[in-house]
Structure 1
Amino acid sequence: MADQASDGQEKTEDPTQKRLEKSKEDGQVASSKELFVLTTLLVGFLLYLGLTPFFSSILQEWAALLRFSGEDGLPDEIFRNLGSSFSFIFWKSVIFAMPLFIITVFTQMMMSGSINWSVSALAFKASRIDPLSGLKRMFSMKALVEMLKAIFKVICLIGAAVLVFESQFEKLLTAQSTHLFGGVSRLSEVFLLLIIVFLLVLAIIAMFDVVWQQYQHNQEQKMTLQEVKDESKETEGSPELKAKIRRLQMTAGKRAKERRAAMDKVPTSTAIITNPTHFAVALKYEVGTPGAPEILAMGRGHQAHEIIRIGTESGVTVFRNELLARALFFAGNIGEEIPSPLYTAVASVLAFIYQLDKKEQVEEPDVDLPEDMLFNEDGKPL
């Protein structure tokens, strides 16, 4: 049966990448004790084999620290040799400790895929000293599996040792009939064989334990369907918000496309109202036709410069009026007639341009706009 979450839902979904990364930050990674035992024992065995030729010199160096001549005073010599003994033990221990430390880190890398230093795992948690939590861990399914695994490992190792001693029984019995070094040599051979057999047994146990630990870790990190949905909302946003953003993007894209297409109509416009360069609105009106002037194109910034450039190259009259250009830009729409509150203002401007095109001497009109048609550069009412 799948694990139950606190809200009663079953944890049936595989953990997401974010969940796995969060578990690593909390120090929750798959780890096999049996694999650590195997690798450290293997490295220790290889160190033993590699350092065997140096054992004689190491023993002689150690024995020299236990000889006292008393020439320089026995107490001084004892203290001097004692300090040398500590140094001797320390550096010889480093020779063994460093490879074991390296293989321990490498073993964890093989399990989790990377080196993970978790500060949060060192933080104090009340559950660690809670008696009830401790009892739950002691009598949990995980604890039962660990106990059965330990019993099985002991049985396997004892059985392997019995088989080794049975196969080498005659060699051990005849060891006492030979000389000292011959007997020690036979005992060393049996010892090496025993270690090799132990390593093989531990390798088999570690292989199954790694698979089990990976499976158990994956089961512990499984998520409910609701947790997956909540995480998706946190990382990517809610579906409603994403749909709204898509609608806004589509609307903005549609408007931008319309404005780019409207640029082709600028040469046919009657006049261009500017502010003087921040905004530009191209108007089309034919005298005698019904309806109000139509907005062919409009833009701000770079697009306004393009409208003015195209209109100037095409001989379209450019009329500068800051407030009118803003009013047309913020209140009007491309392809539609100008807003009705701007009829009078635009009519006076077009009449001025019409007379100007006929080479008549006319004064620039005073353009009056309704109060609700007055905007600043951000489109806010003045």
Structure 2
Amino acid sequence: MADSAQDKQLDPTEHRLRKAREEGQVARSRDLSHFGVVAAGLAALATAAAPVAAWLTQLMADGLRFDASTVATPRLMLERLVTLMLPAIGFGLVICLITGVTAVASGVLSGGWIFTMKAVMPNFGKLNPLAGLGRIVSKQQLGDTLKACALALILGIVGASYLWAHVEDFVLAQSMALPLAIETTVARMASGLWLLVLVLAAAALIDVPLQRFMHRSRLKMSHQEVKEEFKQLEGNQEVKGRMKAKMREASRRRMLAAVPTADLVVMNPTHYAVALRYDEASMGAPRVVAKGADLLAMKIRDIAKESKVPVLQAPPLARALYAHGELDREIPFALFSAVAQVLAYVFQLRHALAGRSPWPADLVPLDIPPELDPHHPSAVPPTTEPA
């Protein structure tokens, strides 16, 4: 069952906002675009007011100047009209270019730059007349219509009030000389337009945050939608759990397969086991090839005994190596001395068992930094189990 509007009370997630943006759904303010276009066009006209007024005066004077030959030849009238209109067309194109660039800039300012084809792709679902009727009478369309009507009413009232206040100036312009009349009329119209620009600016200041609020409101989500999105992003938790279990099992098998290559297994004596390997030619320090706790520790010990790898009972060292050593990485620097001590002892023990050297003296207690031992016990003299 689809979630009702009352259920969608949660703010949209970043993924929802990003997906809507990719589809071209962003907060756009039409009032900001209207303000930018009108203000830019009026500013361009104000900048060129003096030359435009002179040009209009000259244009009217040239347009009203003709002789008998011009009247007798209609083709000359047409050519003259084209000559007079070309500058006007050029000026109009410049104004259109300025307002067009301003319109694009206003859209980018309110919603950012987006390049997507999804907004213009055909959607046959919009051909459904019932769905179209629903969009027409929706709260969003009703709100936009009322807002546009209110803005048009305010602009009409402001414009009518301005014209009523300056109607005498426009009437007096008829009795002025043509250049002065044009100049006066243009100045009065510019003042009125700037007043309308102020109204559009106020509307844009209100509409920009309003559109952003409405955009986020339209994208609000229900609890079910948030859960579904989380599942899509994170994947099915049961499947991920099985995959992680298989990865752990594969890693465990690889680790146990590396135990026979170890030179020593350090134990605690039954809770932790860490297998170490050291090759003086290729390693700068001993590496952890396997480690485990409880049953896995027992498995490492059994494989070590089957492979004739020495097993050393050194609880503080085993705990420190298990807590701070990483698989296939060198042991921590603070444990170099203790590990070197036990490796030297094991190598001497191997030579003694092979009859190549005398039996080594008992191994002295190991110096393990207390901060590396999770249980912080005092150092315990290690004992060695026969391989």
**Structure 1 unmatched runs, 5+:** 260-272, 285-294, 313-324, 361-382
Greater mean deviation of Cα atoms: 171-180 or 53-62 = 53-62
Which one-letter code corresponds to 1:36 in the other structure?
S
1:124 CA drift (Å): 0.8
Alignment of 1:222-237 (within 5 A): 222-236=220-234
> AA paired with 2:302?
I
Alpha-carbon displacement from aligned partner over 1:43-63 (angstroms, at most 9, x marks no partner):
010111122333345887997
Which residue number in structure 2 is paired with residue 288 of structure 1? Answer: none
Alpha-carbon distance in structure 2 between the residues aligned to 1:228 and 1:42? 43
Decide whether the 8 Å contact of 1:27 with 1:121 is kept in 2.
Answer: yes
2:306 is matched with which residue?
A: 342
Q: 1:49 to 1:25 in 2, by over 3 A?
A: same
Matches of 1:356 and 1:29, distance apart in 2: 80
SS at match of 1:298: strand
Q: Distance in 1 between matches of 2:152 and 2:187?
A: 23
Q: Is the 8 A contact 1:23 1:29 kept in 2?
A: yes
Residue 19 of structure 2 is aligned to residue 15 of structure 1: no
Superposition deviation, residue 23 in structure 1: 0.8
The answer to whether the 8 Å contact 2:24/2:119 transfers is yes
The alpha-carbon distance between structure 1 residues 96 and 307, as it changes in their structure 2 partners (threshold 3 A), is same
In structure 2, the residue corresponding to 1:198 is in which secondary structure?
Answer: helix
Which residue does 1:305 correspond to in 2? 279
Cα distance change of structure 1 residues 49 and 147 upon mapping to structure 2, 3 Å threshold: same
Equivalences for residues 1-382 of structure 1 within 5 A:
6-8=2-4, 10-55=7-52, 56=54, 91-112=90-111, 114-236=112-234, 279-282=261-264, 298-299=275-276, 303-305=277-279, 333=297, 337-339=301-303, 342=306, 356-357=354-355
Measured against aligned partners, the alpha-carbon deviations of 1:111-138 in whole angstroms (never above 9, x if no partner) come to 12x2111211111111333212221111
Which residue is equivalent to 1:322?
none
In structure 2, C-alpha distance between the alignment counterparts of 1:199 and 1:99, rounded to whole Å = 16
Partners of 1:35 and 1:142 in 2: how far apart? Answer: 18
**SS at structure 1 position matched to 2:228:** helix
The separation in 1 between residues aligned to 2:8 and 2:203, in whole angstroms, is 29
- Secondary structure at 2:182 match in 1: helix
**Aligned equivalents of 1:233 and 1:346: distance in 2?**
47
* Cα deviation digits, residues 124-178 of structure 1 (max 9, x gap): 1113332122211111122222222222122212211221122213323433343
Cα distance, 1:83 vs structure 2? 9.7
Structure 2 gaps of 5+ residues are: 267-271, 311-348, 359-387
Whichever residue aligns with residue 338 of structure 1, its letter is D
TM-score by structure 1 length? 0.60
Aligned residues: 298
How far does residue 42 in structure 1 lie from its aligned partner after superposition?
0.6
Q: Is the 8 A contact 1:297 1:334 kept in 2?
A: no
2:273·2:301 contact (CA, 8 Å) conserved in 1? Answer: no
Deviations 1:193-215 (A, max 9, x none): 21112112222222222232222
Partners of 2:263 and 2:309 within 8 A in 1: no
Supply the distance in 2 between the matched residues of 1:308 and 1:177 (Cα, whole angstroms): 106
- Counterparts of 1:109 and 1:223, CA distance in 2: 26
* 1:170 aligned partner, one-letter code: E
The CA deviation at 1:247 is 9.3
Q: 3-state SS of the aligned residue for 1:204? A: helix
Aligned partners of 2:127, 2:185: CA distance in 1, in Å? 48
After superposition, what is the alpha-carbon deviation per residue over 1:40-88, rounded to whole angstroms, capped at 9, x for unaligned? 0110101111223333458879979x99xx9xxx9x9999999989986
Question: Residue 48 of structure 2: SS of its match in structure 1?
Answer: helix
Q: CA 1:338–1:184 in structure 2 vs 1: closer, same or farther (change >3 Å)? A: closer
- Looking at structure 1, the residues matched to 204 and 31 of structure 2 have their Cα atoms a distance apart, in angstroms, of 5
**Residues 118, 166 of structure 1: CA spacing in aligned structure 2 closer, same or farther, 3 A cutoff?**
same
Q: Describe the SS at the equivalent of 2:170.
A: helix
Contact 1:105 1:115 in 2 (8 A): no
The alignment-based identity, stated in percent, is 21
**1:172/1:352 CA distance change after superposition, 3 Å:** closer
Alignment RMSD, CA only?
A: 5.2
